[in-house]
Amino acid sequence: MDYSDKVMDHFSNPRNVGEIENPDGLGEAGNPKCGDIMKIYLKVKDGPGGAVIEDVKFKTFGCASAIASSSMATEMIKGKTVDEAWAMTNVAVAEALDGLPPIKMHCSVLAEEAIHKAINDYREKHGLEVIPIREFDHESAPRA
């Protein structure tokens, strides 16, 4: 399988691995088909332009693409507002990695889902409305 240099880099040298104690938001996503699991921990701080993701860490038990996607996704949302982070799609993560093989696109979905769940956890704790998460059928063909 052909992986881009960026995928190989983020897989071999992943950024933001670990946990945050008492996170402001915690999200977990899993793919029942391959059994891979991703956890995202958020530290959120209020700023003039809205709540900002001050720190983010991940723990992923999964394939190379899932680890590379977690690493890239955490880099992409660090320092962004919570709303900006919500807008990041799995496709944007895959593009930032210079692409994933088509059968590996579903691995990037875990990053989008885990971040959305972590943001919703944060929102719930702050009395904000939980946003519906877009459904992805992990059993079906990979989403592009």
Interface contacts to ligand FES, rule CB under 6 A? 31, 34, 36, 62-63, 65-66, 104, 107, 110
Nearer CB in complex with ligand FES: 103/128: 103
User: Which of 29, 53, 107, 109 is flagged as catalytic?
Assistant: 107
Burial class (CB within 10 angstroms; exposed 0-12, middle 13-18, buried 19+) of 6: middle
CB of 68 to ligand FES, least distance (A): 10
CB of 67 to ligand FES, least distance (A): 9
64-77 vs 105-125: helix axis angle to the nearest 10?
Answer: 40
Of 101, 94, 104, 103, the C-alpha closest to 71 is 94
User: Is position 63 annotated as part of the catalytic site?
Assistant: no
User: Which of 17, 34, 37, 91 is flagged as catalytic?
Assistant: 34
Nearer CB in complex with ligand FES: 11/41: 11
Pairwise CA distance, residues 38 & 2, whole Å: 23
Nearer CB in complex with ligand FES: 52/97: 97
Query: Judging by DSSP bridges, how do beta strands 37-47 and 25-30 pair with one another?
Result: antiparallel
Amino acid identity of residue 42, one-letter, is: L
Instruction: Give the residue numbers marked as catalytic.
Output: 34, 107
